[in-house]
Structure 1
Amino acid sequence: MDTFVSAARPSSGKARISILAVVLALLVAVAGGLAAPRAQALPQLGSVVCGGTTSATYDPGITYTPQNVSYEATRDYQGCVVIGGGGITSLQDEHIVSSGTRSCLDLLSTQSITKTYVWDTGATSTFEGTYTYVQAASVLTIVWDGTFTAGAFDGHHVRQVLEYPGVDALTACSSPQGLQELDNGIVAFTVLPL
């Protein structure tokens, strides 16, 4: 951070004392920061905020009848801001492929999940939590809420919000072809400081 001090000469003794007090306070703050002992060799990991885009497909489309479905999703994280990341500057993009029994009934309940996130440095974080679908008008929102239980940012609270404008999942689930894709989504990923 740059600090600028005005070169104008104070016109009174009070102004000189005020400037002297500010300079003295800055010196004490800097000296205190330099003299403070480090609690550990590695920096304390702080917080992360990332934005990005997301999409997903179901093949065949999911309906209210459980069936075997192939699922594929991408999340492209962009514009990450990391404070106190110990060298971490961004979250790696995700490409998820899975298959199993799925139905639109899954959209009506909170689901538990454990997964691993990979950072740009190759470090990983294990997430444990839940995700919940929320349908409001023609916007489907999926909210992930939990904690990193291992790896970088261990113990930090994590929230990821996926929002798909123009998706009415409940109506699509009632159609013969079912809900086939979640497209043009945005993602907000947040790791809160301890």
Structure 2
Amino acid sequence: MTRLTTALTALVLAIAILPAPAASAAVDSLTCTGTSHLAYSPGLTFTPQTVTLTETDTYTSCVSSDPTLTSGHISGSFTVAGLSCAYLTAGPDRYRVNWNNGQTSTIAFTETEATVVAGVQQYVGIGTVTSGEFNGGTAVFTWAYLPPSPLNCLAPGGLTSQNGTVIANITGL
């Protein structure tokens, strides 16, 4: 019995002097899915031109470390020179997202890439949240649209809009 008591005492002492596991830091995070609508004025043709692009993104399904944040949206217009059905480019380098909880996040994209993957026009923006909710976090937004139909680009007025999907991811410290 003394050996058992000695062994149990040694085990209790060993557990008591072991360092406690480090507390994990809270991680701010957000993942949203939704829809994206692009409107072009004038409509896109195969001739490069300066176009006003109006973007409306609606994030309807958000999972966030902030339980009050469940949805959001982006809406804005910007001018793009040299845009055509043959040359589509990524959007602006700064976005302001308005969240359902009254907060905003301003995102500065430092890297954007426009590609066609498996017949889908895809834009990826990577950057940092520069102000508002998730300030300092890393943002990766991915937009996907069907490539424009050549018939729409050749029609009078050109291609005036595109609809697609968007996935927004923000992670922080």
Q: TM-score, normalised by structure 1?
A: 0.62
Report the counterpart of residue 150 of structure 1 in structure 2: 131
1:7 maps to what in 2? Answer: none
Q: Does 2:151 align with 1:192?
A: no
The worse-fitting range, judged by mean Cα deviation, of 139-148 and 53-62 is 53-62
How far has the Cα of 1:88 moved from its partner? Answer: 3.9
Q: How does 1:85-124 map to 2 (within 5 A)?
A: 85=66, 88-99=68-79, 101-104=81-84, 107=88, 113-124=93-104
After the TM superposition, which parts of structure 1 deviate over 4 Å for at least 4 consecutive aligned residues?
none
- Within a 5 Å distance, the mapping from 1:31-180 to structure 2 comes to 46-83=28-65, 85=66, 88-99=68-79, 101-104=81-84, 107=88, 113-129=93-109, 130-164=111-145, 167-169=146-148, 172=150, 175-177=153-155, 178-180=158-160
Equivalent in the alignment of 1:23: none
Q: Which has the higher helix share?
A: 1
For 1:186, give the aligned amino acid. T
CA RMSD of aligned residues (A): 3.6
Distance 1:111 1:100 in 2: 8
Q: Offset of 1:128 from its aligned partner?
A: 0.6
Q: Which runs of 5+ in 2 are unaligned?
A: 1-19
Secondary structure of the equivalent of 1:107?
coil
Shift of residue 143 of structure 1?
1.1
The whole-number CA distance in structure 2 between the counterparts of 1:112 and 1:53 is: 18
CA contact (8 A) 1:112 1:131 kept: no
Query: Aligned runs of 1:23-34 on 2, under 5 Å?
Result: none
Shift of residue 53, structure 1, vs aligned partner: 1.4
Q: Give 1 or 2: higher strand fraction.
A: 2
Residues 63 and 173 in structure 1, CA contact (< 8 A), matched pair in contact too: no
Query: Normalised by the size of structure 2, how large is the TM-score?
Result: 0.69
Q: 2-side partners of 1:111 and 1:98: how far apart? A: 8
> Greater shift after overlay, 98-107 or 141-150?
98-107
Larger RCO (alpha carbons 8 Å, 6+ apart): 2
Check conservation: 2:30, 2:170, Cα contact below 8 A: yes
* C-alpha distance in structure 2 between counterparts of 1:145 and 1:173, whole Å: 33
